Every structure is written in structure tokens, then in C-alpha cells.
Structure 1
Amino acid sequence: MEIENRAFVSGVAIDPVKDNGDKNLKMMTQVVIPNGLVSLPNNSSGGEKSFRNVSSIGKTIFEVKSSIEEKEDGDLDNSHIEIVIISDELVKSEYKISDIIDVFMRESRMNRDIILAVANGSSEELLNIDPENVKLPSQYITELIKSNYKLADLEPETAGDMQYFFIKNKSFYLPYLENTPSTTGIQLGGVAVFEGENGKMVGILKGDEITGLALTRPSFSETLIVDHNGQKASFTIPDGRTEIKLLNSDPENLHFQFDVFLTGELVEASQGLDFIKEENIENLKKKFRLEAEKVMSKTISKLQNDYGVDILEFHEFLFRKHPDIWKQVEGNWDSGKNYFSNVDVTLNVDVTIREPGNTN
């Protein structure tokens, strides 16, 4: 097939549409215009638009995709899709996310590294933003997600990861995008939490709840702001790590422990804090530990009591380390009886302050 006859898709947005009471899907595809990606001196095409957004409506994603292809003068090539954004209005109640993205996992030429994200409200609005220094809105959103995840030493979930989650009925989370009055018109507002059993979005984690989630990962890098006697001190955690332990073997009353090891580097502090004095350092370490415990407890409580969904990897730990126990609870872990909501969690946080910086 001649490359000139292909219409390369870089991003997809999917929204709900109600037409005379029928539930339909609206899909927008962002098609790359190659000439618009090239900016050369004295080149008249340098200001040409680098993409066009084409949309259509149908009962299924495949039907919409076929309708969009009819509007294009070339064959749609989906092998370079970077991101698929889904409106939260779809996955909160109307559809399982597995039904929405099935075509992106099933088609043989589809890119398996497609990043999946959830939008607050309309997803197609996000593909119409006008970012500076980036030609494609889809590319900007992809890099925004990757860079934010990288700061926490994480990787965003892709279409290739979803098959495992769906087969195992494993709960998971995806980037949650929001409109904002900033120049780019978009921000990563948190993560959307999905229940593995029914594939529906059950809630959102934001702010320090994200920090609390990151601190439960096996390895992470994070930032914590500590209140020290009414003054603020900011720490980076370049190489934190967490280990999970099971303290008992009663399936009806499981007790887990997070052993969290934090190595903090002081990067900013209010004036008046003397870090030469050992007592101040020890007091700061205590405040550092308490802040870590607070944000972790907040996240764990929300997941257990509000959402009843395990994205803390307890299920993975039981499956790998205690398979006999897992066999007894897997059918009712974070659904049915929901053993997850009733487990006890102990936090054991160890803090080291590596250096106070170049000044005391």
C-alpha cells in the first residue's frame, strides 16, 4: 500500500451520545497531516495545520470506525495511535471499559503501546486544544501523562496491559484528564479507579491521595511537604521502596503490613529552621514519617471504605506468595463479600534524611 494513500491516526476520543433515547458512541480520530509537521525556513507550508479531527456516531466502535473511513480519502492506519481518551460518562455506568477498547486490543495491526486515559466530561474537547511547541494535541497529552508518571517512577497502563486485567478481573487505574483555564487547556487531575469485576469506573484519586498510592509501590520517587512547628519543609524521595508482608493466615481476617523505606533530600525550608542541631533533624524525621503515614492512610481508607477496590497489589501479593490463601478469597476479594475492605493494614515507615542541602 502506498504511504500516500494512508491516513495515520495519532489519537482517539470516545464520548456518549443519546439520539432519540438510543445509546450511541461518538468517536473522534486525530489524523496527521504530514506537511503540517514540517517547519522549514522560507517554507510556505510551515504554518499549515498538522492534523484534522474526523468524527462519526454509531452503535459500536467498529461501526464508527468504518463510518470515519468512508469520510477519508485514504485508508485509516491505526498502527501509530498514541492515546485513546474515554469520557468518564461512558465508563461510570453505561459501558464496561473492556467493551469500549476491545477493537484496539483485537485488531492485529493496532499499536499495543496505546496509552489509555479517562476524561472529565467531554474527551473530544481535549483533542482540540492548541498546545505551544507541540504540533499534535494527542502527542502533547501523551507526553504530559508519561512525564507525570515518570516523576513517580511509574508507567501508564497501555492497551497491551488491559488483556491481563480483564482476564484476571484485576482492578486498575488510568490517568484522569481535566479541562483547565490554562494556556494548554488540560491537566492531569489524578487517576480514575476501575473495579476489575465489572469494568466500571468507581472513583478518582487526587492530590495527596496520589502520593499515598505511590508510596505503596515497590519502588517510587515522590515529594512530600512537611509541617515543622508551623513552618514548611519540602523533601524529594529519589529512591523510596515498599515491601508487603502478611502477618497472619486467616482468610476472614487478613492483616497486611507495608514496610516503607524513605530516603529524603531536603530541597526547601522556611527560614528559622536550624538543621545543624541533631534534635531538629530528629524532630523533622518524625514529622516526615507522620506525613507519609497520613497520606498513605488516607488513600488506603478511601480505597477500602469508599471504593472497595484493591489497586494496592494485595491480591497480586497473595497470588504469588500465598496461593493457598488466595484460592479461598479470590472470588470475593474486591467484589462479592469484598474481603479487601475488611483487611487490617499496618504502616511501618522508616525515614532517613540524606542531606539538608548547602545551607543550614
Structure 2
Amino acid sequence: MLLKKRSCWSSLICILFLLTGCWDRIEIDQRGFVIGVAIDYSHISKHKFKGTYQIVVPSGLKQSSQGQRGSGSSGKAYFNLSTTENSMPAISARLAARTSRTPYFEHLKIIIVSSEVAKDDKIFADLLDFFLRNNEMRRSVQILIADGKAADILDIPTFNEPTPIDYITSIARNDRKTNYMLPESRIGDVHEFLVKHESFAIQTVRLEEKGVSMTGSAIFDGKTKEFVGFLQGEETQGLNFVTERVKGGIIEAKIKDHTFAFRAERTKSKITMQQFSPTKFKFNIKLATEGVLDKSMSEYDPSNSEAIKDLEKSLEDVVKANTLKVIKKLQQTYKKDALGLGAFLYENHYKLWKPIENDWDQGLNIFTQSEINVQAEVIIRRIGNIIKTTKE
């Protein structure tokens, strides 16, 4: 009986060692919640990085919720902390030694990389690798390319948001209101492009007077992983139409010297291909969009069926022109297929794609030699509210 009791107690003691505990627990009031990271080259040396972290101040957030907005109150809802080191792990380690609260990345929202840093293929890949490996970070973290210094973006006025990062996050979600910007670029999506060796586009951000602008996009080579250049707003609109990423927004066109606006509600892109030789391709891209007139003209009656056709034709010309503009820039200037035509061949014509995959937008660069035609169809489903015309 005694032997049995001893055996029982021994088993219980052994089980205690197997139980999980909170030996590494950090209290919430001791954490430094990092919500934004900006990465630049050091002004001292291009071999060093300047990392800037935006860290939330909980007491400042409370004041903001009570009407005392972040940058306008004495108790800001955030503070920025910068340091210079040779690598991102070293930057994080050094910043941990400079703040009373342990940097915590689970609430990280945005990573901003300066275009100067992104131009170096090895460095950009290493930066992404650091964030992807960190078990505190999520693959939904947004990544932006700054046209200028990334750290400057974290110092913008916050307006009606508690922190600059919250302000930028709100703008980044406005792709339903404007098609001159890309949808949010998540680090997980960027990682997939790099793994597939597909060229791609990332959201951009640049300083403007009293704020920022996020129109346009940054083009990357999926093979070398380097930033190659920017697209402007109209070119990004054309790219969005081809890649079916238009969620809304306005298209402006002119007819009889009058400007009118069309709000896109549904869009579709269809790609077909013809092959004339192993390295000669012809692509036909048909774009279709439906929506409603968002602005009428006092001297033009859109309730007339012929007038509607004229308006649709003007809109089709704009969509086609902006799409051809981005195609020309990608083929002749950047020589990178951010349109997804290579992905189209891989998914729909794999036997044709396999022999040329290494020469698509590298090597022989078959992409630049391909003929790409564009058709656009715009349907005005509703004319909306109109004012009186001169005929009345």
C-alpha cells in the first residue's frame, strides 16, 4: 500500500514538470505596441539602416478618444523612436535597450520602405525575410514604398486620427473611392509574388502639403526582387483594370469640351492569347465596366439614348488610353510584366509557358516583344440625378 502511494506521488510530481506555465509572461502595461516601422538608409553610411518605430502611448489614446486628438494635445497617442544599425534584428535589439517598454509587434499595421532601400534587391529581400520570420507579426501587415524618406511619413499631422499610422491605414482602404491607387499590399501577398518570381506592384506613399498621397504604385522585379520604378495615377488605373482590382472610383472624360464623371461599380477583364512562334505572342485584353454617371452637364442631355452612347464612347477611350499607357511603360521602360500575362500563360497554357518561363521578362524578355491589344466596353446603367438641360 505504501509503495503504491509513493508511486502515485512520484507520478504527480513528474506531471507538474510537464505542465505549461507563464514563465515568459510580460504584463500588458509593460509592452511597447509598435504599429508602424519606417526603413531608410542612414545618412552617415549606405551600409547602415535607419529604423524608425511608431509606438502607441495608451494614455494618449484615451485622451484622443475623449476628443483631444493625438498631435494636437500635450499627451500624444504615439511617439517615434529611431536608431541606426547594420540590420533589422540589430535595430530591434538596440531599440529594446532604449525604451522602458518591450517592443511588441503583434499589432504592427504598416511597414514603410524608402524607394532608395527598395532598389537594392538583396536588402529588400532580407528586410521582408526579417518580418516574415518574426512570430509576433502577421502576414496581413501592409507594406508601402515611400517616394522619399520613409521616416518623414511617420511625422505627418494626424488630423482626425490618433496616430499617423491610423491616418495612413484609413487612406489605404479608400481604393473603393479611387482607382488611381492599388488595393492594400499585404506582406504575405508580396511574399507569394517573390516565391513565384512574378513581377508585381506595391502601394506607394509620398508626402504632400499637410498630409500624404497614395496615388500611383511601385513596380518590382519578381526575379531579382528589386524596385524598378513608379507608375503614376492614370497608369495605375489602367493596371487595376487589367488585373481586375478596380473596386470603384471615378473615371473622368470629356465630350464637347465638357467634363463628366462616371462611377465604376463592376469591372471585368478577359485575356485571350495567340502564339505565332515559340517566342511571338499576341494578347487581346477586353475590359468591361458598368456604373453610374456621377456628374451631369447643363448643356448635355444624358437621358437621350444617342447621348448615352457618346458618353460611353468617351469613357471607353479614356480607359483604353490609360491601359495602353501602362502597357507601354511596362514593356518599353521597366520591361517587367506586372500585368500578370505570364501568370495567365502559366495557369492556362502551361505547355507553352514552361519552355519560355526564364525568358519571359528576363533573358530574351519575350514580354517586351509581345503584341498587346486592348478593347474597352463601358455601360452606363444609371444616369443618376440630372439637372435641367438647355432644351427644357
- Find the aligned partners of 1:219 and 1:57 in 2 and give their Cα distance: 38
- Find the aligned partners of 1:355 and 1:41 in 2 and give their Cα distance: 43
Check 1:218–1:178 CA distance in 2 against 1; reply closer, same or farther (3 A cut). closer
**Equivalent position of 2:191 in the other structure:** 163
SS class of match (2:112): strand
Give TM-score scaled by structure 1 length: 0.92
Q: Superposed, which structure 2 residues align to 1:1-360 within 5 Å?
A: 1=25, 2-19=27-44, 23-39=47-63, 47-93=74-120, 95-148=122-175, 151-152=178-179, 155-182=183-210, 185-218=211-244, 220=246, 221-248=248-275, 250-359=277-386
Preserved CA contact (<8 Å) 1:211 1:222: no
- Find the aligned partners of 2:302 and 2:156 in 1 and give their Cα distance: 46
Opposite residue 235 of structure 2, the aligned amino acid is E
Preserved CA contact (<8 Å) 1:30 1:52: yes
Preserved CA contact (<8 Å) 1:214 1:222: no
SS class of match (1:248): strand
| Structure 1 unpaired stretches of 5+ | none
- Find the aligned partners of 1:218 and 1:177 in 2 and give their Cα distance: 22
SS class of match (1:23): coil
Check 1:327–1:249 CA distance in 2 against 1; reply closer, same or farther (3 A cut). farther
Preserved CA contact (<8 Å) 1:240 1:263: yes
> Per-residue CA shift, 1:44-64, capped at 9, x if unaligned?
x98521111111111111111
Q: Greater strand percent: which structure?
A: 1
Check 1:334–1:353 CA distance in 2 against 1; reply closer, same or farther (3 A cut). same
Preserved CA contact (<8 Å) 2:176 2:249: no
Preserved CA contact (<8 Å) 1:218 1:243: no
Between the aligned residues of both structures, percent identity stands at 27
User: Across the two proteins, how many residue pairs are aligned to each other?
Assistant: 356
**After the TM superposition, which of the residue ranges 327-336 and 349-358 deviates more from structure 2?**
349-358
Deviation at 1:22, TM superposition (A): 5.5
Preserved CA contact (<8 Å) 1:219 1:241: no
Opposite residue 10 of structure 1, the aligned amino acid is I
> Per-residue CA shift, 1:290-312, capped at 9, x if unaligned?
12111111111111111111111
- Find the aligned partners of 2:74 and 2:32 in 1 and give their Cα distance: 20
- Find the aligned partners of 1:5 and 1:92 in 2 and give their Cα distance: 37
- Find the aligned partners of 1:79 and 1:219 in 2 and give their Cα distance: 28
Deviation at 1:327, TM superposition (A): 0.5
Larger radius of gyration: 2
Preserved CA contact (<8 Å) 2:250 2:264: yes
Deviation at 1:163, TM superposition (A): 2.3
- Find the aligned partners of 1:112 and 1:158 in 2 and give their Cα distance: 7
Calculate the aligned-residue CA RMSD, in Å. Answer: 2.2
SS class of match (2:172): helix
Give TM-score scaled by structure 2 length: 0.85
Check 1:167–1:134 CA distance in 2 against 1; reply closer, same or farther (3 A cut). same
